[in-house]
Amino acid sequence: MKNNLVSIGYISKGRMKEGVDSLFKKKNLKISSRDRQLFGYLKKYPNVRINYMSAKQIVNSLGAGICDIAITGIDLWKESEPSVQSKIKMIKKYDFAKAELSVCVPSIWLDVTNPTDLEEISYEFYNKKKRLMRVATGFKNLSREWFDSKGITQYEIIDAQSSVELFPWIAKSDVIVDLVSTGFTLKQNNLKRIDFILKSSAALFVNKNSIKKNGVKKIIKLFT
């Protein structure tokens, strides 16, 4: 049975969980859980195990083959290391957990409305304040790709996994790169978006090697 076991990564918490819960309900897929909710099994499919983990853990688990199938964010897949990303195939995009990974600055920066303006500001920081422009984000790889593509070199990345929008106001960063859905949180924190890096949503992913595994294609069909 172990060789035929199909593992599904299931988001245990966060912004996407409600959408995943609704999708399972819509598809009439019921889970029987055990062991303090660390994992469960899909009812009527005894060879399918549910692994509960965070959205970020899911990406790495897919890349490592620990999970065969999972629903997580496109942004997290694109942010993962190339060695992980290349082992994962996106099967289907969904209409929930939509957001744009965006580059945002304080609203009081009236003269900064696009990447070219941001480049000029970065040189002002370097020449006048004798330091690099600080960018707070939980998406280091995608942020570096964007800044490099725009020719912006005078910056440094500040790791920020939560409450990123507060960083400019507590003197921890000058700019943020974060997911924006409605824009309401930006407005509340006197921030504005000057560009977006990518559009994201929840999506169904599969480990490329797992596609050959018995039962995997059958489970994929349940979600497509």
Residue 1 confidence (pLDDT) above 50? no
pLDDT (tens digit per residue) in 99-153: 999 999 999 999 999 999 999 999 999 999 999 999 999 999 999 999 999 999 9
Pair type for strands 6-11 and 45-53: parallel
Measured CA to CA in angstroms, residue 155 lies from 13, 29, 131, 139, 161 at distances of 33, 47, 9, 15, 19
pLDDT at residue 14, as a whole number: 81
Higher pLDDT, 14 or 204: 204
Instruction: Report whether 201 contacts 94 (CB < 8 A).
Output: yes
The SS3 of residue 25 is: helix
All structural domains of the chain, each given as residue ranges with its CATH number in brackets, are: 2-97+201-223 (3.40.190.10), 99-200 (3.40.190.10)
pLDDT above 90 covers a percentage of the chain that reads: 81
Q: By the 8 A CB rule, do 205 and 70 touch? A: yes
What sign does the dihedral 69-73-78-81 (CA atoms) show?
A: negative
Beta strands 155-159 and 31-34: pairing type? unpaired
pLDDT over 70 at 34, yes or no: no
Q: What is the pLDDT of residue 36?
A: 60
In the chain, pLDDT over 70 holds for what percent of residues? 97
The predicted model gives 39-46 an average pLDDT of: 88
Mean pLDDT of 14-23: 91
The residues near 86 (Cβ < 8 Å, ≥ 6 apart) are none
Could you give phi then psi for residue 171, rounded to 5 degrees? 60, 30
pTM for this prediction: 0.90
**Residue 2 banded pLDDT, cuts 50, 70, 90:** low
Distance from C-alpha of 13 to C-alpha of 15, rounded to nearest angstrom = 7
Nearest Cα residue to 204 out of 183, 220, 185, 180? 220
Q: Does residue 212 or residue 2 have the better pLDDT?
A: 212
Residue 211's pLDDT band (boundaries 50, 70, 90)?
very high
pLDDT at 216 over 60: yes
